[in-house]
Amino acid sequence: MSIRDRYAPSPTGLQHIGGIRTALFNYLFARSQGGVFVLRLEDTDRSRFDQSYVQNLYDTFDWLGIHWDEGPDKGGTFAPYIQSERTELYKKYAAELVSRGQAYYCFCSAERIDRVRQEREASHSAQTGYDRHCRSIPPEEAERRMAAGEPCTIRLKIPLGETTLFHDYLLGDVEWKNDDVNPDPVLLKSDGFPTYHLANVVDDHLMEISHVLRAQEWLASTPLHVIMYRSFGWEPPQYCHLPMVMGQDGKKLSKRHGATSIDEFRTQGYLPEALINYVALLGASYEEGPRPEGRADIYSLQELETLFSPDKLNKAPAIFDYKKLEWFNGQYIRMKSDEELAALCLPSAVAAGLFGTAGTEPATEQKNIFTAAMPLIRERLIFLHEAAEKLAYLFSEPALPAVEEFIPKKSDLAAAIKLLRLGREMVQPLAETPDDEAAEAFIKEQAEKNAVKLGDVMMPLRVALTGARVSPPLFGSVRLLGAERSLRRVDSALQLLENAHKE
Residue 353's CATH number: 1.10.8
- The whole-number pLDDT of residue 241 equals 97
Is there a domain that residue 115 lies in? yes
Q: Please indicate, yes or no, whether residues 341 and 231 belong to a single structural domain of this protein.
A: no
Is there a domain that residue 323 lies in? no
Confidence of residue 294 (pLDDT cuts 50, 70, 90): low
The whole-number average pLDDT for the span 23-37 is 98
Q: Please indicate, yes or no, whether residues 438 and 388 belong to a single structural domain of this protein.
A: no
Q: Please indicate, yes or no, whether residues 379 and 363 belong to a single structural domain of this protein.
A: yes
Dist CA 308 CA 286 (whole Å): 6
Q: Please indicate, yes or no, whether residues 448 and 385 belong to a single structural domain of this protein.
A: no
The catalytic site residues sit at 255
- The whole-number pLDDT of residue 253 equals 78
Residue 488's CATH number: 1.10.10.350
Confidence of residue 249 (pLDDT cuts 50, 70, 90): confident
Domain extent at residue 341: 337-393
H-only helix segments in 358-412: 364-372, 374-377, 386-390, 392-395
Domain C-terminal end among 393, 408, 436? 393
Q: Please indicate, yes or no, whether residues 468 and 373 belong to a single structural domain of this protein.
A: no
Q: Please indicate, yes or no, whether residues 352 and 428 belong to a single structural domain of this protein.
A: no
Q: Please indicate, yes or no, whether residues 101 and 231 belong to a single structural domain of this protein.
A: yes
Is pLDDT larger for residue 160 or for residue 260? 160
Judge whether residue 259 has pLDDT over 70.
no
Is there a domain that residue 235 lies in? yes
Specify whether the CB–CB gap between 9 and 48 falls below 8 A. Answer: no
Backbone dihedral region for residue 407 (phi beyond 0: left; psi -120 to 50: alpha; all else: beta): beta
Q: Please indicate, yes or no, whether residues 132 and 181 belong to a single structural domain of this protein.
A: yes
Q: How many structural domains are present in the chain?
A: 3
Is there a domain that residue 9 lies in? no
Is there a domain that residue 12 lies in? no
Confidence of residue 441 (pLDDT cuts 50, 70, 90): very high
Q: Please indicate, yes or no, whether residues 141 and 117 belong to a single structural domain of this protein.
A: yes
Residue 179's CATH number: 3.40.50.620
Q: What is the pTM of this model?
A: 0.90
Q: Please indicate, yes or no, whether residues 168 and 228 belong to a single structural domain of this protein.
A: yes
Q: Please indicate, yes or no, whether residues 359 and 436 belong to a single structural domain of this protein.
A: no
Dist CA 501 CA 417 (whole Å): 9
Is there a domain that residue 289 lies in? no
Domain C-terminal end among 191, 216, 242? 242
Q: Strands 172-177 and 103-106, how do they pair?
A: unpaired
Q: Please indicate, yes or no, whether residues 384 and 444 belong to a single structural domain of this protein.
A: no
CA atoms within 13 A on the CB side of 227: 30
Is there a domain that residue 8 lies in? no
What is the per-residue DSSP string for 177-225? EGGGS-SS-EEE-TTSPBPHHHHHHHHHHHTT--EEEEEGGGGGGHHHH
Is there a domain that residue 5 lies in? no
335-381 residue pLDDT tens = 999 999 999 999 999 999 999 999 999 999 999 999 999 999 999 99
**Percent over 70 (pLDDT), the chain:** 97
381-415 residue pLDDT tens = 999 999 999 999 999 999 999 999 999 998 999 99
